[in-house]
Amino acid sequence: MEIGLATTMREILEAYPAAKVGLFQRYHVGGCQSCGYEPGETLGSVLRRNNIQDPIEKVVETIRSAHEVESKLHIGVRELKSRLGRGESPRILDLRTPEEFAAGRLPGAVLLTPEVSFEALEAWPKEDLVVVYDAEGKTSLDRASWFRAYGLKNARSLDGGFRTWKGIEAEAAEAKKKKPLLGLQH
């Protein structure tokens, strides 16, 4: 696909879905109300309104390589479990409602509130692993991208969210039940 100043954001996002993350990471465009855009808005309009001075070639490169940026925002449940099992202590932020949080959460998770967001941005070491999750992994990617754009260099989204975490826990519990105890086999 040829991308130019007259290309709409809809066309760009249909061809390069990760462009939303890439543009936000590089230019702080599209991640919130103040810097958002409409699907029918042209790339040229978005660049002018946001006072982006990079040449169009650089912007197009950002769009086309956005999948690489987005891939670095993910962490799988098994990888997180492995890290926790090795004694690592990532900061884990739960995006769900207070009621969902109270009903069950990841070990060490903190409910993300505006106060926690400000604390994270102002006081947490910028290199710390920060894992953000929601119920199914749908909104956490945007939040991880937001934290990265504001300086938390290792913010990541938990693939599949809490639902996948619980599913893998259930699989592990089932496998443990099926495992014979040593010395009790006949």
CATH number, domain of 132, equals 3.40.250.10
Alpha helix positions (H), 40-160: 43-49, 56-64, 66-71, 77-85, 98-103, 114-123, 140-149
Q: How far apart are CA 109 and CA 76, in angstroms?
A: 16
Residues 101 and 173 in one domain: yes
Tell whether 186 is covered by a domain. Answer: no
Residues 103 and 174 in one domain: yes
* Tokens found for residue 74: 């993910």
Residues 98 and 167 in one domain: yes
The dihedral formed by the CA atoms of 64, 67, 68 and 70, expressed in degrees to the nearest 10? 130
Q: What is the pLDDT of residue 94?
A: 98
Tell whether 185 is covered by a domain. Answer: no
Tell whether 112 is covered by a domain. Answer: yes
Give the structural domain span for 152: 72-178
Tell whether 52 is covered by a domain. Answer: yes
Q: What is the pLDDT of residue 186?
A: 47
Q: What is the pLDDT of residue 171?
A: 73
Instruction: Give the pTM.
Output: 0.70
Residues 62 and 77 in one domain: no
pLDDT tens series, the chain, 186 aa: 899 999 999 999 999 988 988 898 889 888 667 778 999 999 999 999 999 999 999 999 999 998 887 888 899 999 999 999 999 999 999 999 999 999 999 999 999 999 999 999 999 999 999 999 999 988 898 899 889 988 999 999 999 999 999 988 767 667 667 765 555 554
* Tokens found for residue 95: 């995006």
Residues 56 and 27 in one domain: yes
Q: How far apart are CA 181 and CA 175, in angstroms?
A: 12
